[in-house]
A and B are shown apart, each in its own frame.
Chain A
Amino acid sequence: MTNPIAMAGRPVSLGERLFGSGKVLGTLYLACFVVVALLVLIPLVALVIGSLRDAAPGLPGSWTLANWAGLMSKGVIGTFATTIGIGLASSIASAVVGTAIAFILHRTDMRLARLLAALVSLSFFLPSFILAMAWIIIGSPGGLINGLLQDVLGIESFKVDAYSHFGIVFVMALHQVPFVYLMMRGPIIGMDASFEEAARAAGASQLSVLRRVTLPLLSYSLTSSVVLSFILAIEQFAIPALMGIPGHITVLATQLYLLVRFPPPNYGLAAALGLSLSMLTALALWLQRRIARKNRLAVTTGKAGRLAPVPLGRWRWLASLFCWSYVMLALILPVIILGYVSVIKYFNANPFEAAYTLRNYLFLLDSSATMRSFWNTLVVSGFGALLGVVLATLISYFTLRLKPPGHTALDMAANLPFGVPGVVLGLGLLWAYAYLPVPIYGTVTILVIAFITRFLAYATETIGGRLVQIDKSLEEAAWTAGATRLEGIRRVLLPLAVPSLQGAYFLLFMAFFREIASAVLLYTASSNVLSTSIWSSFEQANWGLASALSLVGMIAVFIFMYALMLLTRGSRKGEKSGMLPGV
């Protein structure tokens, strides 16, 4: 220890200056950056180029602005209006119903509230195209209600038609209610009791507390979830495709699909349409972020005081009817209908006269195509979600913890696809891989790429939300105890983040399983997954097979997820709450 400088170890390399952490993390960061850039930029650049070309992807053509000019046509403007109209109607309806359900279940003395909460959350996982199929079976001109009216009751004068604006809005609202419910539940449960107690103390009645304190306090969250569900509505593909195309009601997402899928295809106009739809969602998303940011300043919750439940009194029957009707319409009835249709030979509205059969289920077992789609689903959802979680974990760590140069760009790139509707992303990939010399078109690989790109932001949000909760000093304590950055990650950060990794995996798995919008332009017979198999069976008017596949698929997924939960439960043992040390 005679020469202090000689003892001091080496000077700092550029890599260390960048990453403060040696080669491994630096390399990972670069890899992560490149992967995200490729995932996001390839389809977007392809769309931009495609919207400026006058020929189909891969064919020689010249540059043009005609596609963008084509957006000004009367038909396209009409489609814009329909999209926004349906989006507004269904998002407002779902916001009202979803908030009411959240309020009834979590702030009143409603009976069986826990069971109802579980059922509403469960309906969140019912894929939109399965819900739409069930409601088509129920409400289409040749469907259940009309069959019952005519054949059983003999009424000819009154008919329902699911292939209508009302039908689309109705099913979309049903589909989005759980989303609003899950978004509003937190703010409603977490609201600081003292706000309401102060109002009561100031002499306000229960009703005026609700009107003058509770709802205004929730207004930011409410606006924010209306905007988000508006985004989901305008980028929704399956419901308007299944219910709108037969009734000649087109929204942007379905018009894009029709332009590409049916001859003569017009890829250029489709690309321009897709980009403008993306701009619409991006605008709404920007609005939502602004509202959410203001909200954080306005009401600081988190200190969840015990709120006394509001007594329902003589309105109990109405509240019960309301909540149970929703669960009935959105979950139980559709599942029962699918079950019924899957075991009858020919469609018959009267279950007492129907001819029953198990042939749909037997066909599932026999058909190598369905078996392959099950296997593909397992690969795409099971393995793809794993890749997605790994990527999202790296992104979250880099953007929230290490913050090397360029991390804001990485964050932006990872969040960009959130504003790109599924069909549009599918089109971008279709176009890109028609050009690129990478032979993945028509394989499950392109589906994995599409799904990871589309849902990456969901996973980074889940994992990042947890990472910011883990006090920075927990990692610093590991370093001062002699751990390197990597050891700190492995032994402190990752074990603490495990629940969020599982949550993100669960979320991605379900999202991949029920995704149809970005797959519909990319799947082929050999890369069929469950969602696309159900889709094509239904398109071929094979309601029975589509129903059987839906039920078997959903049951299989729930068993898989449940098994996974049981398997991983052990790893969480011992870890209690108290993520914020010393609090």
Chain B
Amino acid sequence: MGIRISNLVKIYGSTLIVDQISFDVADGEFVTLLGPSGCGKTTTLRCIAGLERADGGSIEIDGTVVSDGSLGIHVGTHERNLGMVFQSYAIWPHMTVARNVAFPLQVRGATPSAAIDEAVRWALDVVGLGALSHRHPSELSGGQQQRVALARAIVGKPKVLLFDEPLSNLDARLRDRTRSEISRIQKELAIPAVYVTHDQAEALSMSDRVIVMNGGVTVEEGAPRNLYQRPRKRFTAEFIGAANFIGMTWDGQLWKTADGASVAIPGHSAAGAGETRQAVLRSEVLHVEPADAPLSAGFAALRGTVLGHQYMGPYTEYSIDVAGTAIMAHSAAEFPVGSPVHVTFRPQDIHLLPPDA
């Protein structure tokens, strides 16, 4: 049955933090709320958990309305049957690993103690911590605490899993590993999950669907691949990955840059003459070639001048002036500042934003 959020509103003082957010999460689906800090994503998650009382709209979990502003319904957090992983992990330092994980079952009181032991063992095995059940949290590394938090969230077979930036306190290597771990477990259990993050890599790699938020509203939502390659909003293109924007004008037959170079953009030819749109070019799809080199077959090219460069190890990052716009491109080759170059790309890698982006 999943989760259904309709027109959710949350106000702090006179500030509208969440402004009429609506989305559904299907059973077993992994949905990520992605956005910069202060965009309302964490508040939305806390409203689902009942840690914040929504000021308007309704929240339904597994077919049950748990919050409805107009009807004055607010089901307590403890009655919503959730599993939640906090940014700080919130592992209780006065309980062992096993007691932390057993807590959701004990406190609900419906499970006999033998079954609790078994469920705890199961949950700890799922996260790979079976051997540490008698440790105290202070004896665990950050990654292990994170796993305890995950085990505690899943042990009660909740109706929904909530994640509040759970990986932001881990170092980069551990983050990558835990990322795939979390998606694997969520897929295995097929529990609908809402995941909050400001990290695009987490959002893209884990989610079935990403909801991009900004200023308390939904900017755009979609599957990770679509959002990255075919964003409909400039904010999405900017927030996810490094994007270059080049103004393009339709002359009736072709799209042209400000300095008159024409580019064929497949699937984008229906606009009226004289209309200007923004084209998105990801840095990593661009190649930098000497201006006098022959063009590879099937590639489009834009003429530019090198403005500056930064050696990054695997590649050099170039800032290149193309038709009056500075764009970023990567290349393994060396070009001095001021040298004329061609920025080349495959036609399917250029994407035109809709007029209302």
Contacts and interface: CB of A to CB of B under 8 A. Distances in A.
A575 B344 CA distance: 61
A476 B149 CA distance: 13
> Nearest 10 CB-CB pairs, A to B?
A576-B138, A477-B90, A481-B104, A1-B63, A479-B77, A473-B90, A480-B84, A8-B65, A578-B138, A482-B108
Central interface residue in B74, B79, B92, by most chain A CB within 10 Å: B92
A491 B92 CA distance: 10
B126 interface: no
A495 B96 CA distance: 13
A172 to B, nearest CB: 42
A581 B64 contact: no
Given A496-B94, A576-B138, A581-B137, A8 B75 contact: yes
Interface residues of A, number: 37
A581 B53 CA distance: 25
Nearest to A572: B94
Contacts of B249: none
A201 interface: no
Contacts of B84: 476-477, 480
A582 B171 CA distance: 12
Interface string B51-89: 101000000101111101001111111111111101111
B76 A11 contact: no
A397 to B, nearest CB: 17
A421 B142 CA distance: 49
Nearest to B75: A9
A152 to B, nearest CB: 61
Given A481-B156, A495-B94, A576-B136, 6 more contacts: A1-B64, A8-B65, A11-B73, A480-B77, A480-B83, A578-B93
A580 B96 CA distance: 16
B169 interface: yes
Contacts of A582: 87-89, 91, 142, 145, 169
Nearest to B84: A480
Nearest to B93: A578
A328 B93 CA distance: 43
A579 B86 contact: no
B107 A11 contact: no
Contacts of B50: 479
Interface string B143-159: 00100010011001000
Contacts, number: 129
A368 B98 CA distance: 56
B193 interface: no
Contact of B89 (A482, A495, A581): A581
27 contacts: A1-B1, A1-B63, A4-B64, A5-B68, A8-B64, A8-B75, A11-B71, A12-B73, A473-B88, A476-B84, A479-B51, A480-B49, A480-B77, A480-B78, A480-B80, A481-B103, A482-B81, A482-B108, A482-B156, A483-B107, A484-B76, A578-B93, A578-B137, A578-B138, A579-B93, A582-B145, A583-B88
Interface in A392-435: none
Contacts of B138: 576-578
Nearest to A483: B107
A580 B152 CA distance: 18
Interface of B: 1, 49-51, 53, 60, 62-66, 68, 71-84, 86-94, 96, 103-104, 107-108, 136-139, 142, 145, 149, 152-153, 156, 162, 169
A7 interface: yes
Contacts of B63: 1, 4, 7
A8 B66 contact: yes
Contacts of B153: 480
A482 B94 contact: no
Nearest to A11: B72
Interface in A433-473: 471, 473
Contacts of B73: 5, 8-9, 11-12
Interface of A: 1, 4-5, 7-9, 11-12, 16, 20, 471, 473-474, 476-484, 487, 491-492, 495-496, 574-583
B263 to A, nearest CB: 49
A477 B107 CA distance: 12
Contacts of B80: 480
B222 to A, nearest CB: 27
Nearest to B138: A576
A8 B82 contact: no
A422 to B, nearest CB: 37
Contacts of A5: 65, 68, 71, 73
B77 A476 contact: yes
A487 B71 CA distance: 28
Nearest to A487: B107
A583 to B, nearest CB: 8
Contact of B74 (A4, A12, A476, A484): A12
Contacts of B64: 1, 4, 7-8
B277 to A, nearest CB: 44
Contact of B93 (A11, A482, A487, A575): A575
A479 B62 CA distance: 19
A2 to B, nearest CB: 8
A193 B136 CA distance: 31
A57 to B, nearest CB: 48
B80 to A, nearest CB: 8
Nearest to B73: A8
B219 to A, nearest CB: 28
B52 to A, nearest CB: 10
A130 to B, nearest CB: 39
Contact of A478 (B74, B81, B87, B103): B103
Nearest to B51: A476
Contacts of A480: 49, 51, 77-78, 80, 82-84, 153, 162
A528 to B, nearest CB: 42
Contact of A581 (B76, B93, B136): B93
B210 to A, nearest CB: 23
A9 B79 contact: yes
A499 B30 CA distance: 42
A71 B14 CA distance: 50
Contacts of A496: 92-94
Central interface residue in B103, B108, B153, B169, by most chain A CB within 10 Å: B103
A117 B88 CA distance: 36
A99 to B, nearest CB: 34
A28 to B, nearest CB: 18
A473 B73 CA distance: 24
Contacts of B139: 576
A11 B66 CA distance: 11
B134 to A, nearest CB: 10
A110 B66 CA distance: 64
Contacts of A483: 78, 103, 107
A479 B75 contact: no
Given A1-B62, A479-B51, A480-B82, A471 B90 contact: yes
Nearest to A477: B90
